[in-house]
Amino acid sequence: AQSVTQLGSHVSVSEGALVLLRCNYSSSVPPYLFWYVQYPNQGLQLLLKYTTGATLVKGINGFEAEFKKSETSFHLTKPSAHMSDAAEYFCAVRAGGSNYKLTFGKGTLLTVNP
């Protein structure tokens, strides 16, 4: 079984500041890891994913995440926040192989202050 813990249900940053959203996972097999973003009144969009290979993954809108196996973490970062980054962010894990199901964290709401 797999699980995801997102530390902090609400993160607030100033425009131009570093964004750091934390995600820790547990999985009995090598995981596939995902970050999704949800803007108000919309569905979820994929930001980035890690499957195999390079542990630093770059996504859309300037976001990136690093898979750290020793820490079972997959934290999301962006060097400089923009007002348009305000949204809810979800980390998700899928066990590698034939398991089709994603397990989501509870989400982190990002607020960007002018």
Binding site for other proteins (CB under 8 A): 9, 32, 34, 36, 41-46, 49, 51, 90, 94, 100-102, 104-107
Q: Which residues of 84-108 are buried (b: 16+ CB within 10 A; e: fewer)?
A: ebbbbbbbbbbbeeeeeeebebebb
- Nearest Cα to Cα of residue 89 among 29, 3, 7, 26: 7
Task: Tell me whether residue 70 or residue 98 sits nearer to other proteins (CB atom).
Answer: 98
| CB 86 to other proteins: min, Å | 17
| CB 92 to other proteins: min, Å | 8
Task: Tell me whether residue 52 or residue 70 sits nearer to other proteins (CB atom).
Answer: 52
- Nearest Cα to Cα of residue 34 among 71, 1, 70, 6: 6
Task: Tell me whether residue 42 or residue 70 sits nearer to other proteins (CB atom).
Answer: 42
